[in-house]
Structure 1
Amino acid sequence: MTGLLPLATALLVAAAPTSFAAAAPVSEVQEQIAGRMEVVVVETSDCAYCRLFRKSVLPVYEASPQTRDVPVRFVDASALDDGHVTLSAPVNVVPTAILMRDGIELGRISGYVGRENFFRSINHLMTISR
């Protein structure tokens, strides 16, 4: 009787549908339902506060678990007119961090506000946008 358990287990595994193993992780399914969110940081090459943002905020954000679900990317301010993003208003201050879903602005943080204020603000924007 003890030899039947491994045989039954092997038969069940062999009979399992192969598509089950290829199912998308829950986070991918949620992303497809809710739309792809990202943080777009608008900057210019001659901006001291943009460099400060990259030095003090970016490493902490990239090390956080939320960067997997809401990645960050940088866009030069001169490239905003390419039609790939829909903004609610012009960007007049750099750096400006814009929370986007499928290329549409959900909210923004204008200017360099420091690490703690950035995380407080971006977490608030993410919470009200879900």
Structure 2
Amino acid sequence: MAARFLLLIMMLVLPVAARAEALQLLMFEQPGCIYCARWNEEVAPQYPLTTEGKAAPLRRLQLRDPLPEDVAVASKPVFTPTFVLLEDGVETGRIEGYPGADFFWPLLAELIADAAAE
């Protein structure tokens, strides 16, 4: 009985865990960016603790650095911060700029929901 229960749990949890690892949120930033600093103050501390942060772990990149080989974006960001949601290394959506926490969270939730729906 316990083995069947464990098997059922694994069948339900593993696809969700695999899906969560497929998503990643890139944050393109640069030194002196006041909106990056605001995001770091208002969002960064709780980001990894949120549903969104668990679904799409944060990866920081410098705006002027070359793109990593495992990242494919529709176009290279031109200003900071730019947040790019990746699924399996490919861009599925982005948020350009930081309009404040009240706007950031719903925009990010929508990007994640859209990626999950595909």
- TM-score above 0.5: yes
Q: Identity, % of aligned pairs?
A: 23
Cα distance in 2 for residues equivalent to 1:120 and 1:25: 30
1:60 positional shift? 3.2
- Residue by residue, what CA displacement relative to the aligned partner does 1:79-100 show, whole Å, maximum 9, x if unpaired? 3433221011120110011111
Taking only aligned residues, the RMSD between alpha carbons, in angstroms, comes to 2.5
Check whether the contact 1:57–1:114 (CA below 8 A) recurs between aligned residues. Answer: no
**Corresponding residue for 1:44?**
30
Gaps of 5+ in 2: none
- 1:27/1:69 contact within 8 Å kept: no
Q: Following superposition, which runs of at least 4 residues in structure 1 exceed 6 angstroms of deviation?
A: none
Q: Secondary structure at the match of 2:47?
A: helix
Aligned length: 114
The one-letter amino acid of 2:27's match is V
Structure 1 segments unaligned to the other structure (5+ residues): 1-11
Give, in whole Å, the separation in 2 of the partners of 1:62 and 1:74: 13
CA separation of 1:42 and 1:28: change in aligned 2, threshold 3 A: farther
Shift of 1:70: 1.7
Q: How does 1:1-130 map to 2 (within 5 A)?
A: 24=10, 26-32=12-18, 36-130=22-116
Q: What secondary structure is seen at the aligned counterpart in 2 of 1:81?
A: coil
SS at structure 1 position matched to 2:106: helix
* Farther-moved stretch of structure 1 (64-73 vs 102-111): 64-73
